A and B are shown apart, each in its own frame.
Chain A
């Protein structure tokens, strides 16, 4: 099997039908201004625009249908390469393609198809509204795909669990020279530490107490530092253990600059033990301890902004991330790993919970993406030199109602509650923007004047 590849992604919602992509393709590929000569075709539907172009299929049927060996999936680039010196113009490839991605071009007199412009697609550059993106995430998967998955197959997470995704990706990247702490919660709950003598992890792993994850890791890391051994001390902890009962040890370790990578998987509550409220649970959310009834309308307080609190510890690195933005997540993971060799690195990953948030299991990444696109959560990173920087600023956020309506835990919200949430989003965005503007490290003793 080959790896994953960069690809052109199309967001129909952003397309305004300007045809700039087609014109630029025709110019680049045919020296023509005719959109008919474009290898990307935007078609007007009813009130929306649709795309026909080569998907660079992993198992291309055009290639299988070619009697002349003129079409070959290039294992390096992922492009289905067309060899004009072999093509016999039989058009059987067009029968194999269910996407309108390889089409006979009258001017050329043979089939033409997208070749991704050697990794610099003209259409994407021409797309002002951002409907076309050149997605290079595949680079990550190819690199990570070479690394060993350090969890065993068959961890018993819920269907569609985002946390398992985070665990596997993170630990592959961090590597085997690691001691992993997984405090009680979903992460050991799905079997990562194991049961009755069997383990689910290929690196040394343990249950710390819910309360002392950062402390135990501090002891481990300091010991190995003293022995002159480079060992990553890593926590994969839930938001409850990090923000509530474990916050003291977390704060202490951060203040002391312990060389730890602390990853907080924020699913906004105690999901493993039955979806109870944590201090990271957002306002209005149903949980099993903030139920909805005659008097109860979900949580009555706003969520604690744990990553901001961690930033105020002036850690070596603090960032928020989302699995809907894996390139961003990986960049932060890399920086967090590096930072954990010189001080405390804290990575807060927003992790929608299909079970506890009540949405269909296939929608996890969609919900994660909406959280970012609505500014419900903000993606940023911090280090003491550069200060806080937004890594995925959303200037024109989607209405938060889209996000709220995607989840059962907000089903009961009153208009007043929605308004409270909307106001909170604006306040948070403005607050983070001010921090971003300020730059640099927080003052050692903050002045509130």
Chain B
């Protein structure tokens, strides 16, 4: 456990800890009723911290040591249908194994928060960070938010419950933090006071719409659809409602971040963060922990007189189309840096979304896809310096090159 620098009676005011431990403390602060755990690198220490918090009485929750990720989420789905606020974390192969109940969770409109301690997917065999796992499930219907810092991991998990349980949303939230870089990178983290979190989150009401409770018997998820009778329209009603929940989440996320700032005093950009975008002619678009190094590179380039700025995407699903377009309006070229791959398009998935948003908005900017940081590889300010150079050139000549693999020659 981390060193407690300034203990109060119930909780430390701040810790020096890594992202996995910060996540566990956020779970405790959120007064989660049930956690289910199964270890997998680089998430393992997170569930160890959860178990320790439960064992020490800091997290008065039911903990289920399930026999695999598939059951982890299944246990929690059952508990949520019985009204529990739930949490777990996984990554990579664990997420793949969990996929069957994972695919079902948003359709049941069951709010929860699950951390994806992002890891690159097999194969090649690998145990290190990369966004490929989370990106592979981007179309399943969960809300996905990517964190830049350990503090943001803690704050976003807590905010995640507020967002997930919002009546207009009622969807599960993945809070993604980078394997290795955030999971194991320790920094100072401030803990909000429990009373503040309690007031912020309120009393959960998880299963008002779909319950497995003998005091209000109902069938949960009867067979729906087919080609006849009420099937087609009933199915459409559910699917469309799910899409509406995702879209409503954009404003809810914004409001929740604003309230967090008001109550707790820490500001995090809800959808996208604009960094030194004033007068920027070229822009980098980043996601996750790489953003720190990218910001350093932007600073350095600005010092050299390059008019570059950065747009960090925090909320990736639902994709904040308007916010991305607004942020990029006025630049002459865009470079999008992904930590994962869209195999179908030979580019990064974030690039695909950004290009799509710009096209959708009638803003045909020259843009290029950069892929780096796969399987634990480092993305340094040097890498981003190169990206800035390439995008600046693109701004000059408009010649879009093919996807650049940043660690190709490392």
Q: Does A231 contact B (CB under 8 A)?
A: yes
Q: Does A369 contact B (CB under 8 A)?
A: no
Q: Does A431 contact B (CB under 8 A)?
A: no
In angstroms, how far is the closest chain A Cβ from the Cβ of B155?
27
Given contacts A204-B212, A204-B214, A206-B81, contact A199 B222 (CB under 8 A): yes
Q: Does A196 contact B (CB under 8 A)?
A: yes
Q: Does B124 contact A (CB under 8 A)?
A: no
Closest residue of A by beta carbon distance from B216: A204
Asked if A223 and B33 make an inter-chain contact with CB atoms under 8 angstroms apart, the answer reads: yes
Asked if A194 and B68 make an inter-chain contact with CB atoms under 8 angstroms apart, the answer reads: no
Q: Which residues of A contact B36 (CB under 8 A)?
A: 219
Interface footprint category on A: 35 or more
Q: Which residues of B contact A201 (CB under 8 A)?
A: 217, 219
Q: Which residues of A contact B218 (CB under 8 A)?
A: 199, 204
Docked CA distance A7–B84 (Å): 51
Given contacts A209-B100, A231-B214, contact A219 B84 (CB under 8 A): yes
Q: Does A255 contact B (CB under 8 A)?
A: yes
Closest residue of A by beta carbon distance from B80: A219
Closest residue of A by beta carbon distance from B60: A226
Q: Does A288 contact B (CB under 8 A)?
A: no
Closest residue of B by beta carbon distance from A224: B82
Docked CA distance A284–B219 (Å): 39
Asked if A226 and B221 make an inter-chain contact with CB atoms under 8 angstroms apart, the answer reads: no
Interface 9-mer from B138-146, B228-236, B255-263, B362-370: B228-236
Interface 9-mer from A18-26, A74-82, A210-218: A210-218
Asked if A206 and B219 make an inter-chain contact with CB atoms under 8 angstroms apart, the answer reads: yes
Given contacts A223-B79, A223-B84, contact A216 B221 (CB under 8 A): no
Closest residue of B by beta carbon distance from A219: B78
Q: Which residues of B contact A253 (CB under 8 A)?
A: 71
In angstroms, how far is the closest chain A Cβ from the Cβ of B107?
12
Docked CA distance A216–B72 (Å): 9
Asked if B70 and A207 make an inter-chain contact with CB atoms under 8 angstroms apart, the answer reads: no
- Can you list, as one digit per residue, whether each of B41-68 has a CB less than 8 Å from chain A (1) or not (0)? 0000000000000000000001011111
Q: Which residues of B contact A176 (CB under 8 A)?
A: 214, 217
Q: Which residues of B contact A251 (CB under 8 A)?
A: 67
Asked if B70 and A248 make an inter-chain contact with CB atoms under 8 angstroms apart, the answer reads: yes
Asked if B82 and A179 make an inter-chain contact with CB atoms under 8 angstroms apart, the answer reads: yes
In angstroms, how far is the closest chain A Cβ from the Cβ of B237?
10
Asked if A216 and B222 make an inter-chain contact with CB atoms under 8 angstroms apart, the answer reads: no
In angstroms, how far is the closest chain A Cβ from the Cβ of B81?
7
Q: Does A8 contact B (CB under 8 A)?
A: no
Q: Does B399 contact A (CB under 8 A)?
A: no
Asked if A215 and B66 make an inter-chain contact with CB atoms under 8 angstroms apart, the answer reads: yes
Given contacts A206-B81, A206-B221, A209-B100, contact A219 B75 (CB under 8 A): yes
Between B62, B219, B224, B226, the greatest number of chain A beta carbons within 10 A of the residue's beta carbon is seen for B219
Q: Which residues of A contact B278 (CB under 8 A)?
A: none
Asked if A219 and B221 make an inter-chain contact with CB atoms under 8 angstroms apart, the answer reads: no
Asked if B221 and A222 make an inter-chain contact with CB atoms under 8 angstroms apart, the answer reads: no
Q: Which residues of B contact A379 (CB under 8 A)?
A: none
- Can you list, as one digit per residue, whether each of A181-220 has a CB less than 8 Å from chain B (1) or not (0)? 0000000100001111111111111111101101111111
Asked if A216 and B220 make an inter-chain contact with CB atoms under 8 angstroms apart, the answer reads: no
> Which one, A193, A216, A218, contacts B219 given CB within 8 A?
A193
> Which one, A203, A206, A218, A227, contacts B75 given CB within 8 A?
A218
Asked if B67 and A193 make an inter-chain contact with CB atoms under 8 angstroms apart, the answer reads: no
Asked if A249 and B70 make an inter-chain contact with CB atoms under 8 angstroms apart, the answer reads: yes
Asked if A223 and B83 make an inter-chain contact with CB atoms under 8 angstroms apart, the answer reads: yes
Closest residue of B by beta carbon distance from A202: B217
- Can you list, as one digit per residue, whether each of A44-88 has a CB less than 8 Å from chain B (1) or not (0)? 000000000000000000000000000000000000000000000
In angstroms, how far is the closest chain B Cβ from the Cβ of A258?
9
- Can you list, as one digit per residue, whether each of B16-47 has a CB less than 8 Å from chain A (1) or not (0)? 00000000000000000110100000000000
Q: Which residues of A contact B211 (CB under 8 A)?
A: 204
In angstroms, how far is the closest chain A Cβ from the Cβ of B233?
9
> Which one, B104, B212, B223, B230, contacts A220 given CB within 8 A?
B212
Q: Does B76 contact A (CB under 8 A)?
A: yes
> Which one, B70, B84, B223, B226, contacts A212 given CB within 8 A?
B70
Asked if B78 and A199 make an inter-chain contact with CB atoms under 8 angstroms apart, the answer reads: no
Q: Which residues of B contact A179 (CB under 8 A)?
A: 82, 212-214
Asked if B213 and A204 make an inter-chain contact with CB atoms under 8 angstroms apart, the answer reads: yes
Between A179, A193, A201, A215, the greatest number of chain B beta carbons within 10 A of the residue's beta carbon is seen for A215
Asked if B100 and A218 make an inter-chain contact with CB atoms under 8 angstroms apart, the answer reads: no
Docked CA distance A255–B66 (Å): 10
Closest residue of A by beta carbon distance from B232: A196
Given contacts A204-B212, A220-B79, contact A252 B67 (CB under 8 A): yes
Q: Does A177 contact B (CB under 8 A)?
A: yes
Q: Does A256 contact B (CB under 8 A)?
A: yes
Q: Which residues of B contact A197 (CB under 8 A)?
A: 222, 224, 230, 234
Asked if B78 and A217 make an inter-chain contact with CB atoms under 8 angstroms apart, the answer reads: yes
Given contacts A209-B100, A215-B74, A219-B79, contact A194 B223 (CB under 8 A): yes
Asked if A194 and B71 make an inter-chain contact with CB atoms under 8 angstroms apart, the answer reads: no
Closest residue of B by beta carbon distance from A204: B212
> Which one, A206, A219, A231, contacts B220 given CB within 8 A?
A206
Given contacts A195-B223, A223-B78, contact A252 B33 (CB under 8 A): no
In angstroms, how far is the closest chain B Cβ from the Cβ of A163?
17
Docked CA distance A405–B17 (Å): 70
Q: Does A276 contact B (CB under 8 A)?
A: no
Q: Does B204 contact A (CB under 8 A)?
A: no
Docked CA distance A84–B218 (Å): 57
Asked if B234 and A196 make an inter-chain contact with CB atoms under 8 angstroms apart, the answer reads: yes
Q: Does A428 contact B (CB under 8 A)?
A: no
Asked if A215 and B70 make an inter-chain contact with CB atoms under 8 angstroms apart, the answer reads: yes
Q: Does A178 contact B (CB under 8 A)?
A: yes
Asked if A223 and B219 make an inter-chain contact with CB atoms under 8 angstroms apart, the answer reads: no
Given contacts A216-B74, A223-B33, A252-B67, contact A203 B82 (CB under 8 A): no
Asked if A220 and B70 make an inter-chain contact with CB atoms under 8 angstroms apart, the answer reads: no
Docked CA distance A248–B84 (Å): 24
Q: Which 8 A-B pairs have the closest CB atoms?
A: A219-B78, A252-B67, A199-B219, A215-B74, A212-B74, A216-B78, A219-B79, A194-B222
Interface residues of A (CB under 8 A from B): 176-179, 188, 193-209, 211-212, 214-224, 226-227, 231, 248-249, 251-253, 255-256
25 A-B residue pairs with Cβ-Cβ distance under 8 Å, sorted by A, are A188-B223, A193-B223, A194-B223, A196-B229, A196-B234, A197-B224, A197-B234, A198-B222, A199-B219, A204-B211, A205-B220, A206-B81, A206-B220, A207-B221, A208-B74, A208-B78, A209-B74, A211-B100, A212-B70, A215-B75, A217-B78, A219-B77, A222-B34, A223-B84, A226-B62
